[in-house]
Amino acid sequence: MLRRAHLLPDPPLPLLITGVAGVAGYNALVYFRDKYPGQVVGIRQQDSDYLTGPGIVACNAEDHKRLAQLFDRYQFASVLDCAGNCALKPCELDPALAWRINVEGIRNLLSQIVPRGIRLVHLSVDLVYSGRRHGGYREDDRTDPVTMYGKTMVAAERILQQTYPEACTLRISLPMGTSPNGHAGAIDWIASRFKKSRPATLYFDEIRTPTYTDCMNELFAVLLANRLAGLYHAGGPRRLSLYEIAQVINRVGGYDPDQLMTIPRILAGPIPPRAGNVTMDSSKLADALGYEPFDPWPLNEQLVPTDRDWHRRRPADEPGSPEYLHQVLCLNPTRR
């Protein structure tokens, strides 16, 4: 099987990217905007006012009138839907808000896409599963989310399947890249704690399949340009617990190892509930593409934890700095 596509196709343009305040959407916006200046528009929620710049428009997912105006103005030919409220605790405390953004948002988007027959790639998440089994979830496994976020994402998937089966839905895991506000997403949030000499406590029994956003962007380009439809898992090939991910960030960033702690997720408290091993089997996607779209995160095998004290050992030839962290964890060294 080929490692990746050698010549990436152009997506139908103009392209709309939703949810650009999140890590996946933000990195996709930067990638596609650089490739197609003036032909890419990103939308964010009104309250994400820290995110501005060329091609970024404030539009709430549930604002039907505003969204219709944007589609009429730009005549989008394809949509990459990265929108959604993924903040676990706020979703638990305000289910109505989670439903409005995550479910009514996709319903509103489809009201513009379906009549126009626009190409749509929609992002869902691995947290549609509870993780009570030993991971390796496949697309036909029953969903059983433990969080309101996961429940609303399942509802959005079903609406999309019933309303627009021509679309492609990707269940992603943790997108590993920079965030627009510098403290969102797995890397930036954990690193921001260490930078401020604040402790970070991560769970050793919540296990994910993190993925470089560089790999995801190239996958999005391919899927927007083809007609692959249906549901696909899109997690990276390396399985890591949240604690192991934090170990990598701590050591590669050169931060104080004493600031990192770990507990089992049962001690996290009732709100929000935590999933367990939600690792995904993404072989269906690789088979459909004819190549493996994802490199493991981190790429370097030497940067993979081997035990709970791994991050305390600092090899003399390893730089250990925020700059090094950005070079090898936020960016895929093979795809610059």
Instruction: Note the pLDDT tens digit of each residue in 45-63.
Output: 888 888 888 899 999 888 8
Residue that has been written with the tokens 């089992």 in this structure: 264
The kind and range of the H/E element at 250 are helix 242-252
Q: For the beta carbon of residue 261, count every other beta carbon within 10 angstroms.
A: 11
* SS3 category, 88: helix
At residue 203, the pLDDT reads: 97
CA-CA distance, 88 to 156, in Å (whole number)?
A: 17
* Superfamily of the domain at 15-243+270-330: NAD(P)-binding Rossmann-like Domain (3.40.50.720)
What average pLDDT does this structure show over 247-254? Answer: 98
C-alpha–C-alpha distance, residues 143 and 131, integer Å: 10
- Percent share of the chain, pLDDT over 90: 87
Strand bridging mode 200-203 / 260-263: parallel
Bigger pLDDT: 309 vs 269: 309
The pair of three-digit structure tokens given for residue 193, joined into one six-digit string: 């704690």
Question: Among candidates 161, 127, 102, which has minimal Cα distance to 280?
Answer: 127
Residues 91, 94: Cα–Cα separation, whole Å: 5
**pLDDT mean over 310-322:** 96
pLDDT, tens digit (0-9, with 9 covering 90-100), for 124-176: 999 999 999 889 999 999 999 999 999 999 999 999 999 999 999 999 999 99
Instruction: Tell me the pLDDT tens digit for each residue of 32-49.
Output: 999 999 999 999 988 888
At 270 the pLDDT is 84
Average pLDDT value for residue range 170-188: 95
Domain residue limits, the chain: 15-243+270-330
| Cα 25 to Cα 171: distance, rounded to the nearest angstrom | 14
Cα-based distances in Å from 214 to 36, 190, 206, 224, 285: 17, 20, 24, 16, 17
Which of 335, 326, 336 has the alpha carbon at shortest distance from 178?
326
